[in-house]
Amino acid sequence: MFQGLSDCIIFIFLNKYLVNCVEIIYENIFTRGTLEIDILKCVEHKMANLYTHVITFVLCDIIEIVYANVSWTFKPEIIRIGETLSLLCTVDGIDSINGGLIRQWTKGSELICFNGHPINPDKYREIQQNGNQFELKIYNISESDLQCKYQCRYGFDTQTKKLEISEHNFENPPANDTRATVFTNTSDGMLSLQLHLNKVYPIPNCTITGRGTDIPFKIVKLIRRKDIYYKVYMRNALPNSTNCDDNLEVTCRFIIKYHIPVEKTMMCEVKSETTTDKKILIGLLISLIIIVAVVCMITWIMLKRRKSKERIGNYNADEKRSCDMTFTSSKLDDDSLCNSIQYGKEMNDDQQKPFLVPDSKTVVV
């Protein structure tokens, strides 16, 4: 098998031009006995076989193309926005690329490179590899370069296929300024960690690691953007034993694993403020309980004293009433006795009047 068109041409020259001239030399030596070469006759023989040579050249080209099988792949295996992607065209059935044949790259219907000359040198560049491969480099990959049909051409042979992306070959990790933040729940005062990813692909699997324990992030909201990316909102509560000095780590796995920094500047302040607020609240609550208890005790004592006084007052009233009744009865008896004594006295006075000695001044008639 020929190793390209150049090998075929060399073969033709060796088997056509040289053989024809040797025949002419042989004829001159043995028929005329001279080494004089009839150049015109040699040229005539060459011109006579010109059409044969041209047909042979074409056949060599056809043979090489028929035996060639073109296919292309991309590298690296993981595509990322902003990086460089290479499309590698392989021609099976040959040992090396023939520079005389057409090499062409197209994107959809747009020609982007022809025989090593890119239309946009800032975006594309062709590199001819050793052996049977040539490569197209695409710089600064963007979304417009994905999900497109690319065609590799070598001679008359082509392969056209779509640069498909999936969760296995394409990832768009979070931006460098992405942070997981700590906040305090207003309902229970517990610490929670939240993470907002604005433009990622594929949907990540994120984990919180602290004190040797892995806690999976919970996706609370997932939005599919109009492009190929996702918006992801994640949140999870931290254990009650979490302290300010604990080293919290957040990792998100897309195709590979990425570390997300944790904002801890507010963590201790929030916990300190929360603890202070709790202490103040507890102090106020205890003070209120003590005040209520004291008021209740004082009220109870006052009520008890009032009841005691009421009992004593009732008892005194009863005693007074009893005494008054006794006194009244006794008084009645005394008055009767006094009246009897007075009556008796008056009676005695009347009885004793005749026996009185007359006054010396009194004249008896």
Structure-model confidence comparison of residues 314 and 17, the more confident one: 314
DSSP letter for each residue of 123-189: TEEEEE-SSSEEEEEE-S--GGGSS-EEEEEETTEEEEEE----TTTB-BPPPTT--EEEEE-TTT-
Given the structure tokens 């090593």, which residue do they identify?
Answer: 116
Do 80 and 61 share a domain, yes or no?
no
Task: pLDDT band for 40, please (50, 70, 90 cuts).
Answer: very low
pLDDT tens track for 317-365:
666 666 556 555 555 455 554 555 454 555 545 544 444 444 444 333 3
Q: Could you list the residue range(s) of the whole structural domain that residue 41 is in? A: 5-66
Task: pLDDT band for 268, please (50, 70, 90 cuts).
Answer: low
Q: What is the pLDDT of residue 117?
A: 96
Does the pLDDT at position 170 exceed 50? yes
pLDDT tens track for 17-30:
444 554 555 455 54
Residue 50, domain member (yes or no): yes
Coil, strand or helix at 216: strand
- Name the token pair of 248: 């919290």
CA distance linking residue 278 with residue 283, whole number of Å? 8
Torsion angle of alpha carbons 317, 321, 322, 326, nearest 10°? 150
Q: What is the pLDDT of residue 331?
A: 52
Residue 274, domain member (yes or no): no
* Among the listed residues 160, 154, 158, 159, the one whose alpha carbon sits nearest the alpha carbon of residue 64: 154
Any idea what the CATH number is for the domain that residue 120 is in?
2.60.40.10
Do 11 and 32 share a domain, yes or no?
yes
Distance (Å) of CA 176 to CA 115, 173, 258, 259, 260? 40, 9, 10, 10, 9
**Mean pLDDT score across all residues of the chain:** 76
Do 265 and 197 share a domain, yes or no?
yes
Do 150 and 84 share a domain, yes or no?
yes
Residue 139, domain member (yes or no): yes
Domain end position, chosen among 109, 132, 162:
162
Structure-model confidence comparison of residues 281 and 13, the more confident one: 281
Torsion angle of alpha carbons 197, 198, 201, 204, nearest 10°? 20
Torsion angle of alpha carbons 190, 196, 201, 207, nearest 10°? -20
Q: What is the pLDDT of residue 207?
A: 94
Domain end position, chosen among 229, 248, 269:
269
Q: What is the pLDDT of residue 310?
A: 75
Question: Which range is least confidently modeled, 191-205, 271-285, 316-330?
Answer: 316-330
Does the pLDDT at position 89 exceed 80? yes
Residue 312, domain member (yes or no): no
Distance (Å) of CA 331 to CA 52, 160, 264, 325, 326? 176, 141, 98, 10, 9
DSSP letter for each residue of 325-361: HHHHHHHHHHHHHHHHHHHHHHHHHHHHGGGSPPPTT
DSSP state of 79: B
Does the pLDDT at position 267 exceed 80? no
End-to-end Cα separation, the chain, in angstroms: 211
Task: pLDDT band for 210, please (50, 70, 90 cuts).
Answer: confident
Structure-model confidence comparison of residues 218 and 13, the more confident one: 218
pLDDT tens track for 221-233:
999 998 899 999 9
* Among the listed residues 111, 148, 155, the one whose alpha carbon sits nearest the alpha carbon of residue 132: 155
> What percentage of the chain exceeds 90 in pLDDT?
44
Do 190 and 248 share a domain, yes or no?
yes
Domain end position, chosen among 22, 40, 66:
66
Q: What is the pLDDT of residue 322?
A: 63
Q: What is the rounded average pLDDT of the residues 52-76?
A: 62
Do 130 and 203 share a domain, yes or no?
no
Structure-model confidence comparison of residues 345 and 252, the more confident one: 252
Do 185 and 255 share a domain, yes or no?
yes
Bridging pattern class, strands 262-263 and 180-184? parallel
- The domain tally of the chain equals 3
Do 221 and 263 share a domain, yes or no?
yes
Q: What is the rounded average pLDDT of the residues 81-97?
A: 95
Residue 293, domain member (yes or no): no
Do 157 and 112 share a domain, yes or no?
yes
